[in-house]
Amino acid sequence: LDKEDVVLRVDDLQKRFGGLVATDHASFAVERGTITGLIGPNGAGKSTIFNLVSGFYEPDGGTVTVNGADVTGKAPYEVADEGLVRTFQTPRKLEGMTVREAMLVGPREQPGESFLQLFTDPGAVRAAETANIEDAHRMLETFEIDHLATQPATDISGGQMKLVELARAMLAEPDLLLLDEPVAGVNPTLAVKLREHIARLNEEEDITLCIIEHDMEFIMNLADPIIVLDQGSVLVEGSPDAVRADDRVIDAYLGG
């Protein structure tokens, strides 16, 4: 792959939690324009990789490059500035906020824990200034969830929350969007909607996506290539058909 064709490069990435090796010399690249699937058994280290590349965890070794820029060890808002934005497997705490307010919490820095950070983190404040109500509302319309704008963010369904997360991430104008289990716990009707929106972002808005998904049917029909993680490193990478037929992948899932 040429340098400019790679939006994310992970090289020899390592992360330990005490004695547990969560990321074990992982290396892979996400090609611009693709929907790349990241799969693997529970505990394989998929979410950890997302946390490492988006600046939420600091790696013990290795490098992360986004659009050619070394972002290893950078803060989430700095990584977002290079074009990489992520959503969370478990939506963040949004108590006391309406959907519209949740959309306005600094999209580029993705505070995660508390609204307070918006006022204490200079990066967050800068990011918040760039978001505005009209942009947020337009984005909610694009995702067909503008009718939820004044609802408490904690009162909407899990699937609707996933759509809000997607809309919020898009406010940051990413080149690469990382989605952690976008259809987990989502009803089938909304899962179809999510799929359509993801395909639209890729085809019409030139967004590259890297998607962790447990639902094998969903990911195999949406993503190409598929990267299989096992025990913190890349086991296999290839087309959905190649991955499906690979004995090592079958063994990893049975063993896990």
Q: Which residues in this chain contact Mg ion in the complex, by CB under 5 A?
A: 46-47
Q: Is residue 235 within 8 Å of 44, Cβ to Cβ?
A: no
- Using CA atoms in the order 248, 249, 250, 256, what is the torsion angle rounded to 10 degrees? 100
Specify the stretch interacting with ligand ADP by CB under 6 A; choose among 44-52, 78-86, 94-102, 144-152.
Answer: 44-52
Q: Which of 43, 62, 158, 238 binds ligand ADP (CB under 6 A)?
A: 43
Output the 3-class SS for 179-227: EECCCCCCCHHHHHHHHHHHHHHHHHCCCEEEEECCCHHHHHHHCECEE
Residue 6-35 contact track with ligand ADP, rule CB under 6 A, x = bound: -----------x--x-x-------------
d(CA 192, CA 182): 11
Q: Least distance from C-beta 43 to ligand ADP, angstroms?
A: 4
Q: Does residue number 44 form part of the binding site for ligand ADP (CB under 6 A)?
A: yes
Q: Which of 13, 36, 37, 46 binds ligand ADP (CB under 6 A)?
A: 46
Give the tokens for residue 57: 């965890």
Q: Least distance from C-beta 82 to ligand ADP, angstroms?
A: 22
In terms of Cα–Cα distance, which of 79, 32, 33 is closest to 52?
79
Decide whether 73 or 152 has the Cβ nearer to ligand ADP: 73
Expressed in angstroms, the distance from the first to the final Cα of the chain is 32
Q: Least distance from C-beta 47 to ligand ADP, angstroms?
A: 3
Q: Which of 40, 111, 159, 225 binds ligand ADP (CB under 6 A)?
A: 40
In terms of Cα–Cα distance, which of 60, 45, 22, 27 is closest to 180?
45
Q: Which of 2, 3, 19, 42 binds ligand ADP (CB under 6 A)?
A: 42
d(CA 54, CA 63): 12
Q: Least distance from C-beta 57 to ligand ADP, angstroms?
A: 7
Q: Least distance from C-beta 44 to ligand ADP, angstroms?
A: 4
Judged by the rule CB under 6 A, the positions of this chain that interact with ligand ADP are 17, 20, 22, 40, 42-48
